[in-house]
Amino acid sequence: MMASRSTIQFIWGPVRALLRKLPERETLLLLSVVTGVLCGGAAVLLKWSIHSIQTGLGSLFPDRRWPYLVFPGVGMLLSLLIVRYLVKDNIGHGVTKVLQAVSKNESKIKKHNLWSSMLTSALTIGFGGSVGAEAPIVYTGAAIGSNLARYCGLSYRGMTLLLGCGAAGAVAGIFNAPLAGVLFTLEVLLFNISMTSILPLLLSSLSATLVSYAFFGRGAQFEASLVEFSMRNIPWYVLLGVFSGFVSLYFLRTTLWMEDMVSRLRSPWIRWALSAVGLGLLIYFLPPLYGEGYDSLRPMLSGSAGSGALWLFVLVLVFKVFSMSLTNAGGGVGGTFGPTLFVGAVAGFVMATAVNSFLPYQIPVSNFVLVGMAGTMAGVMQAPLTAIFLIAEISGGYILLVPLILTAAVSYGVMRIFEKYSIYTKRIAASGELLTHDSDQAVLTLLKTDALLETDFTPVRIDDSLGQLVEAVAVSQRNIFPVVDAHGRFQGYVQLADIRRDMFRTDLYDTAYVYNYMHSAPEYIYRDEPMESVMRKFEKTGAWNLPVVTSDRTYLGFLSKSKIFNAYRQSLRDFSQD
């Protein structure tokens, strides 16, 4: 072990030194290819692990349904134990965690995420957990990019971009869809990407796809019996978009409601037990809920699923969100990406089958299954371009490009009427920590109160005499004097202009006191307060300086509006620089 580690360091040390001598733009191009290859390999490993576990368990109990009651709970328990006692960190909701890393942690992701999400999601899904592998592999890919960038000494901007390259490579590798990987990063994860910055994303996505091709071939992941697009079906695709929009709304709100409900159970073991029982029963009575559920889509895509399956899949459409939420709540690790695609496919099948069964009209079921996937993905993730091109790439269905665009756009529009944020960003936005596609908002979010804190003010005590205050003026470089009590708690402030008339009257030095000249602060700023909230306080008060205090009002320093503006302009230049 020590020999192999020293060999790696011997080889990698000079390489890292060389990379640090290159301009960051060239370094990013080289590292984006490396990131893509590693992410492609991680995607291959995860897919193989899930398939191997499912195949192994299936061979032990062929043609028996009772394992559906037990296996998902076992997988959740194994994942819970690994996370609780080995990882000791929350690794669920991978895409949301990546967004939080960009927003709150300078795009730094912990090293254990290089493997922890993959291992636990392989166990969760392999044993039948009703979640997707895409979010965990995105988290893994982002961790690969982030840690590689940090090891090579890249700037925050470079680290963020390489993190995005990892996410793009992960999506491309898991789906064999290079364009979708790039679009996912642009729509969901990053903001204000210039054309120059797209090149590393393309290289990473392409590299990951080629690795996936080498192991799994170039065939479409969801092969379908497609029918040429017909203009007469446009009204039905519009209707599917509306239906998908409301399905997306149901999916998002039910997921968040379920998470809130289950989180009220404080004991992780009670959460696991109840979730395992609930999930097992759901899968026992509705087998398509087992695992990712992609195998259940093949009859729909091939046209072999008859109308008799309509009511079964209506129930699947309703309960998939419950099985997914129970899997994650019970300790399993997986994402909403895969379930979103699954629910969209079922929604398309249900609508097309209902039209064909109850109306004197025939529409192609397999077409609507694929287009439904795009519609629901566009609504839940609020990423219509990713939805359109992902479905086209994984199905080879470019002949459906027009209905894909139409349905995705309508679904996205319907969803935006009711929900401003996606399933990934809703909770982060509520906390005011979301880096959005608005570059002003994004750069403002990057500014930290602690980094802008000014501490070179000379504090005075509230019961100090005017003479003592004049002594403070003599040694201070500032014209504001924070006033504190005996315990260091902020009480107010005195400006130089307030004492200018009296500061040369020595007869007042022992009879006038600081509290005679003190003003109360119009607002307080608290340590670690989001910059958006800070700016609202400056705007509300019209002040140019506000005190920064702890929760018990201990004085820390002042924050000035001018320093925030200067830092904002510098951050905007740094981030936008190509």
**Rounded Cα–Cα distance for residues 414 and 412 (Å):** 6
Q: Tell me if domain 20-216 and domain 231-437 are identical in fold.
A: yes
Interval 326-355 mean pLDDT: 93
Helices 268-285, 67-82: crossing angle, 10 deg rounding: 150
Q: Is the pLDDT of residue 2 over 80?
A: no
* 341 pLDDT tier (thresholds 50, 70, 90): very high
Which tokens in the block code for residue 58? 């299936």
Residue type, 561: K
CATH of 444-576, one of 3.20.20.10, 3.10.580.10, 3.40.50.1820, 3.40.640.10: 3.10.580.10
Report the run of H or E that residue 538 belongs to, with start and end: helix 531-541
In which order are the strands placed within the sheet that holds 460-461? Answer: 460-461, 480-484, 490-495
Which tokens in the block code for residue 204? 């990473």
Q: Quick one: which of 547, 578, 571, 574 has its CA closest to 560?
A: 547
Strand pairing report for 545-549 and 555-560: antiparallel
Strand pairing report for 490-495 and 480-484: antiparallel
Question: Which CATH code is given to the segment(s) 231-437?
Answer: 1.10.3080.10
Residue type, 285: F
> pLDDT digits over 95-152, tens only?
888 888 877 777 789 999 999 999 999 999 999 999 999 999 999 999 999 999 998 8
Q: Above pLDDT 70, what percent of the chain?
A: 89
Interval 464-490 mean pLDDT: 90
Q: Which segment of 46-55, 64-73, 335-344, 489-498 scores lowest on mean pLDDT?
A: 64-73
Domain-wise residue ranges, the chain:
20-216, 231-437, 444-576
Question: Which CATH code is given to the segment(s) 20-216?
Answer: 1.10.3080.10
**Rounded Cα–Cα distance for residues 518 and 107 (Å):** 43
Torsion over CA of 336, 338, 339 and 344, rounded to 10 degrees? 120
- The 10 Å Cβ neighbour count of residue 55 is 10
pLDDT at 405: 95
**Rounded Cα–Cα distance for residues 270 and 493 (Å):** 53
Residue type, 233: N
146-161 per-residue burial string, b: 16 or more CB within 10 A, e: under 16: bbbbbebebebbbbbb
Q: Are the C-beta atoms of 317 and 346 separated by less than 8 Å?
A: yes
pLDDT at 412: 96
10 Å CB burial of residue 8 (0-12, 13-18, 19+) is exposed
> What is the pLDDT of the chain when averaged over all its residues?
86
Sequence-ordered list of residues with C-beta below 8 angstroms from that of 425, at least 6 positions apart, any chain: 96, 99, 382, 434, 436
* 436 pLDDT tier (thresholds 50, 70, 90): very low
Q: Is the pLDDT of residue 301 over 90?
A: no
Q: Is the pLDDT of residue 516 over 60?
A: yes
Phi, psi of 537 (to 5 degrees): -70, -40
* 14 pLDDT tier (thresholds 50, 70, 90): low
Report the run of H or E that residue 46 belongs to, with start and end: helix 24-60
> 307 versus 295: which is more confidently predicted?
295
SS3 456: coil
pLDDT at 21: 62
E-strand stretches of 302-461: 460-461
**Rounded Cα–Cα distance for residues 540 and 517 (Å):** 24
Strand pairing report for 460-461 and 480-484: parallel
* Residues facing 525 on adjacent strands: 548
